[in-house]
Chains A and B, each alone.
Chain A
Amino acid sequence: MASSTFSSPFHLHRLTPTSPSTPKTRTKLNLRHTSTPTLLRATLSDPLVLQIAETLEDSISTLSSSSSPTLQKLRDTSSESLLTMSWPTRKDEQFRFTDTSFIKHSQIHPVSNPIPTSKSDLVALSADTQFPNLLIVDGVIVNCLSPFGGLPGGVFVGPLSSVSSEVISKRVLEFVSEFHDGDLFWSLNGVGAPEVTVVYVPEGCRVEESLYLRFYSSENGDVGSNYLPMSNPRVLVVVEKGGEIGIVEEYLSGDEDKCYWTNSAMEISIGEGGKVSHSYIQQQSVNAAHIKWTYVRQESSSTYEHVEVSTGGKLGRHNLHVQQVGPDTVTEMSTFHLCVHDQTQDLHSKLVLDHPRGSSKQLHKCIVAHSSGQAVFDGNVKVNRYAQKTDAGQLTRSLLLEPRATVNVKPNLQIIADDVKCSHGASISDLEEDQIFYFSARGIDSNTARRALILSFGAEVIARLPSDSLRKQVQNHIKGLLNPASK
């Protein structure tokens, strides 16, 4: 956004003679006076942000009449933080390589009809898995009636509004919106989330089957219409001491080339000795904006395993923040990004270690197979003073398959403790000629060889997905992207 409006002088020069006062500036001025209650607010705030926040608030108030104290807390803290936030530009370090201007320049509308009109096709979507699953459309659970036969007693999966247990309500209130280092999009989600999907695993309870959370956007704009419906799904996962669960978070495409903006957030709190295996599959429309926050809080001896495979969206941005709140934690993060279109895949991860003997492994792999495709990785591991005996490893590998394809990677370790073992590495390359030749020496043409090698590049990450069916599904999706003809 910065690039198109400020940093390109040509643009400005061309604009000034024809339109002396740009409409954008006027809008901003108008907003400042009309839509904000006090002048003080206006000087600190970004009018665009306030405008979006207000439309979100309006949409929420028409939606849900009864709002729980938990939701209220979430909305209050979120809107408060919004007051000092502005839309990110490429001058902001966190968005240095990621252009969010197409979202900014669209007409952003909160989804108006969160209960889908045609339920039938959505039920079909939820039916094709044998695992317990929730279908979440525009942030609202639509199949809460589906039997959770696979879940042990004491486990709760459903909307915040239907939490009846006082224990769970108390814990949810404790953890919802506990994270304060989020950005604009985190706060916008807090304001606009129509409800919070709660997953609660009581002490010592191990959930055998993975829980599927499937996200879907029902409202969308046509390409070129500039209309961008925005949804704000939010999930809170609380796993008590010794509890275990696997969560598969899937973002489905819907109509292939429609425009929509999914601004999603998930908070995960893992109690002592607990374990969460979190798979995140992002396959949204090639014209969608997908911005996602994952905040994880790890108590002592807990394990968090994260596997991400992102292939969709015009912009896919994942902010993954893991905070260690006790010693002896295990954190594994694996990511595979694939850009086959004119798209950006971005992972900003931050792991903060404040206690001894944490161990973490991070693997980031990305392929950019389009000349205007881009992958961004900023992986920060912060080893603070008391985090002695930390063992942290970080590796990023990128494949650039087209001329002008871009990758910006910044693996970085900030180490204050003095007795730690940390490593990081980065490599950027094309496919190995030797490998392609090996295929052709066996009669396999180079296109097939390249496809196989691309798949094999991601296989290391895909292999870490928890189930065979999920691995197959992801692999087939990627095969389809690499070879559209065979679809």
Chain B
Amino acid sequence: MAASLLQTPFSLSCLSNLPSNSLIFTNSTLLSLHLPSRTTTRPNRLSLKANVSLTNNSPLTTTSTSGLSDNEKGKVLLEVKDLTAVIAESKQQILKGVNLVVREGEVHAIMGKNGSGKSTFSKVLVGHPDYEVTGGSVMFKGENLLEMAPEERSLAGLFMSFQSPVEIPGVSNISFLQMAVNARREKLGLPPFDTLQFYGFLSPKLAAVKMDAGFLDRNVNEGFSGGEKKRNEILQLAVLGADMAILDEIDSGLDVDALQDVAQAVVGLLTPTNSVLMVTHYQRLLDYINPKYVHIMEDGIIVKTGDISIAKQLEEGGYKSISPA
């Protein structure tokens, strides 16, 4: 994090992106303008302060007069700034300076061609060991996400549904969920659920995502169909809850009916304060879960941000129709 904050030239360079990313970048631009003057002494603390001032203050001033427009938009939940990352093994650069701000209650979608880096972006956010962050910063709920271990990120309220979740033979779904829920309870200083208590806690959640209890006794993802795997991810989201859910291609490999089921389950989990970041190829998912913002990713950066209309444009004319400005 310290490294990222000292890289002022980079953060300033993102100013050049301003025209294309108008909606979102007002804030991050401001932040990068504030930071250089402050980072010189105690970068760790200052980054937190900078973020606090960002979330509470009006975008136009650095003083504490709160702007009404910002309050309406809700608090900033996730702020990604100039994030760069490489594949840990080959050092091949995938993310080349991603900037993104997600506020409470917002639904965002990231679209892009295969290999544009959108799945890498979601994996980097949850701390996947296959990738190495080389620059930039990620603040989640006012804390430096990049300094947190993957399990801490999860406990802090960040959830990612895996594109192709791994099979874990010998561990049943119910005991996996129980471990995960008890890890959260431990973090909150609550006593762990025993199996019986846990079942009571789980039953209503299972009904909410329309899944039958037979699912629980099966081993985690073992022999699951594509649709079952996606549903299981959403079940985990329902059980664990999250301030921010990253849904990495939950639509891939699903037929229309299954897609509708999964999407409805996600919609059912939305609240005014939690946020969703969907990563997808296709517009059809967005028909069910309406995003406020759609971002187009290309070659490791977000090249365009707009509303649902650019997804429609994409559907009709392909990625060519969206000029990176």
Contact = CB atoms under 8 A, between A and B. Distances in A.
Interface of A: 432-435, 437-446, 448, 452-453, 455-460
Given A437-B129, A440-B154, A443-B154, A448 B183 contact: yes
Given A433-B129, A437-B128, A448-B179, A442 B154 contact: yes
Nearest to B126: A441
Given A433-B129, A437-B150, A438-B165, A444 B170 contact: no
B183 A444 contact: yes
Contact of B171 (A432, A441, A456): A456
B230 interface: no
Contact of B151 (A444, A457, A458, A459): A444
Contacts of A446: 151
Interface in B101-144: 126-129
B154 A441 contact: yes
Of A443, A448, A456, chain B has the most CB atoms within 10 Å of the CB of A443
Contacts of B155: 443
B207 interface: no
A445 B219 CA distance: 20
A440 B129 CA distance: 11
A315 B179 CA distance: 34
A448 B183 CA distance: 10
Contacts, number: 74
B183 to A, nearest CB: 4
A453 B236 contact: no
A439 B129 CA distance: 13
Contacts of B171: 452-453, 455-456, 459
A452 B165 CA distance: 17
Contacts of B170: 453, 455-460
Contacts of A442: 151, 154, 176, 179-180, 183, 236, 240
Of B129, B150, B184, chain A has the most CB atoms within 10 Å of the CB of B150
A315 B127 CA distance: 42
Interface string B230-251: 0000001000100000000000
Contacts of B175: 452
A381 to B, nearest CB: 25
B48 interface: no
Nearest to A432: B166
Nearest to A443: B154
A445 B183 contact: yes
A266 B165 CA distance: 46
A440 B154 CA distance: 8
Nearest to B128: A437
A441 B160 contact: yes
B168 A440 contact: no
A438 B220 CA distance: 10
A435 B154 contact: no
Nearest to B175: A452
Nearest to B152: A443
B150 A456 contact: no
Contacts of B127: 440-441
A445 B151 contact: yes
B219 to A, nearest CB: 8
B169 A444 contact: no
A219 B141 CA distance: 63
A443 B166 contact: no
5 contacts: A435-B166, A443-B184, A444-B151, A453-B168, A457-B170
A459 B172 CA distance: 11
B150 A440 contact: yes
A336 B127 CA distance: 34
A453 B127 CA distance: 20
B240 A441 contact: no
Contacts of A458: 170
B93 to A, nearest CB: 22
A460 B170 CA distance: 7
A440 B126 CA distance: 9
B162 interface: yes
A441 B127 CA distance: 8
Given A437-B128, A438-B162, A452-B175, A443 B180 contact: yes
B162 A444 contact: no
B211 to A, nearest CB: 17
A457 B219 CA distance: 12
A441 B183 contact: no
B149 interface: yes
B166 A434 contact: yes
B169 A438 contact: no
A438 B166 contact: yes
Contacts of A455: 170-171
Q: Which 5 A-B pairs have the closest CB atoms?
A: A456-B170, A459-B170, A443-B154, A440-B150, A442-B180
Contact of B162 (A440, A441, A448, A460): A441
A444 B126 contact: no
Contacts of A437: 128-129, 150
A444 B168 CA distance: 14
Of A435, A438, A459, chain B has the most CB atoms within 10 Å of the CB of A438
A382 B8 CA distance: 72
A89 B171 CA distance: 41
A458 B179 CA distance: 19
Contacts of A444: 151, 179-180, 183
Contacts of A456: 168-171, 219
Interface in B175-222: 175-176, 179-180, 183-184, 187, 219-220
Interface in B72-117: none
B305 to A, nearest CB: 27
